[in-house]
């Protein structure tokens, strides 16, 4: 499992630079592996300090609405994949696939972004 995915699932949204710094802090000798005994104290500190606060729901909604040019209320997986891998701080295909698995509608595979906003803006703290 990707560390970023775990952090995002906890409602924390660090920048790519902050995420890389966090990984460097907990990674075992640049091996690509993170041991739980190093991750837990570091992540607990992040949560207690509210270090990677969530994005405000209104800001996130505006961002989705910009991407949803036709104001359909959803994005197709191909659209979201293109935006996430080619714009800004690009996600890896694996991260995109995990996000689509978690948030795409089970029947039509569309991403109904208003339905997932509350999950993405949960307070990152204890």
Q: What is the pLDDT of residues 7-18, one digit of tens each?
A: 887 878 888 889
Are 69 and 113 members of one domain?
Answer: yes
Do residues 43 and 35 touch, judged by C-beta distance below 8 A? Answer: no
Shared-domain flag, residues 40 and 75: no
pLDDT(125) > 70: no
Residue 118's domain is classified under what CATH number? 1.10.238.10
How close are the terminal C-alpha atoms of the chain, in Å? 23
Contact 97, 45 (CB under 8 A): no
Output the pLDDT for position 40: 93
Q: Which secondary-structure segment (H or E) carries 67?
A: helix 57-67
Predicted TM-score of the model (pTM): 0.56
Range of the domain at 100: 57-123
68 in the same domain as 10: no
Angle between helices 36-49 and 16-26 (to 10 degrees): 140
**Rounded mean pLDDT, 66-85:** 91
pLDDT at residue 101 tops 80: yes
- For residues 101 and 9, is the Cβ–Cβ distance under 8 A? no
Confidence of residue 72 (pLDDT cuts 50, 70, 90): very high
Residues 45 and 11 both lie in one domain: yes
Is the model's pLDDT at 126 over the cut of 50?
no
């Amino acid at each position: 499992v990707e560390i970023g995915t775990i952090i995002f699932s906890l409602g924390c949204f660090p920048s790519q630079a902050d995420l890389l710094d966090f990984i460097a802090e907990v990674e075992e000798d640049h091996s690509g592996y993170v041991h739980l005994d190093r991750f837990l104290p570091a992540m607990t500190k992040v949560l207690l300090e509210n270090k990677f606060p969530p994005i405000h729901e209104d800001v996130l909604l505006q961002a989705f609405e910009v991407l949803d040019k036709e104001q359909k209320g959803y994005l197709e997986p191909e659209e979201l994949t293109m935006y996430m891998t080619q714009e800004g701080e690009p996600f890896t295909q694996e991260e995109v696939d995990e996000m689509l698995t978690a948030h795409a509608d089970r029947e039509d595979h569309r991403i109904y972004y208003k339905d997932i906003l509350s999950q993405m803006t949960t307070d990152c703290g204890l």
